[in-house]
Amino acid sequence: MSYLTDQPIDAAALERSVLLRAHGASVVFAGVVRDHHEGKAVESIDYEAYRPMAEKEIGIVVESVRASFPDVAVAVQHRLGHLVVGDVSIVIVCSSVHRAEAFEACRQVIDRIKQTVPIWKKERGPDGEEWVGWQSAQC
């Protein structure tokens, strides 16, 4: 299954895709478009990806976390396109026998996706629009 989607994410379906009868814990993380960023009001975000590379990089993150937590099942979907405040941009499900490793695996998946996967966002608000991170990259 593709990690990227242009449609709203069905978190319940994603959860069902990895939850086993042996699992006693299912951690579901949802990233949501917030109404502000670094002091500026945000109305919407356009998400864009280098799609084939982003698919590969999310796969690398998932495989790596699975290797660290062999008992944890992991599912990820990241939404692309035009999202407004309150929309869910990413859902990560980590299900396992017990909760401790599910929580830790989930945190690692989202932290690493934010660091390595070629996905960008253009924030739009009353003050204009901006590609997040670009201004501060100047040197």
Partner 1 sequence: MKVRLLFFAVLRDLTGKAEALLDLPEGTRAVDVWNQLRGEYQSLAGYRHPPLAAVNEQYALPEQRLHDGDDLAFIPPVAGG
Q: Which residues bind partner 1 (CB under 8 A)?
A: 31, 47-50, 52-54, 56, 78, 89-90, 110, 113-122, 131-134, 136-139
Other Cβ atoms closer than 10 A to 90: 22
CA–centroid distance for 69 within its chain: 19
What is the nearest approach in angstroms of partner 1 to the Cβ of residue 137?
A: 5
If the CB atoms of residues 31 and 71 are measured against partner 1, the closer one turns out to be: 31
In 3D, which of 93, 89, 91, 88 has the Cα closest to residue 65? 93
Least CB distance from residue 97 to partner 1, whole Å? 27
Residue type, 107: R
SS3 of 46, please? strand
Rounded to a whole number of angstroms, the minimum distance from the CB of residue 28 to partner 1 is: 15
User: For partner 1, which is the closer residue by CB, 22 or 127?
Assistant: 127
Shortest separation between residue 118's beta carbon and partner 1, angstroms:
5
The C-alpha angle 27, 29, 32, rounded to 5 degrees, equals 160
**Residue with Cβ nearer partner 1 (50 or 98):** 50
Q: Which of 7, 14, 1 is nearest to 91 (CA)?
A: 14
Residue whose CB is less far from partner 1, 23 or 51: 51
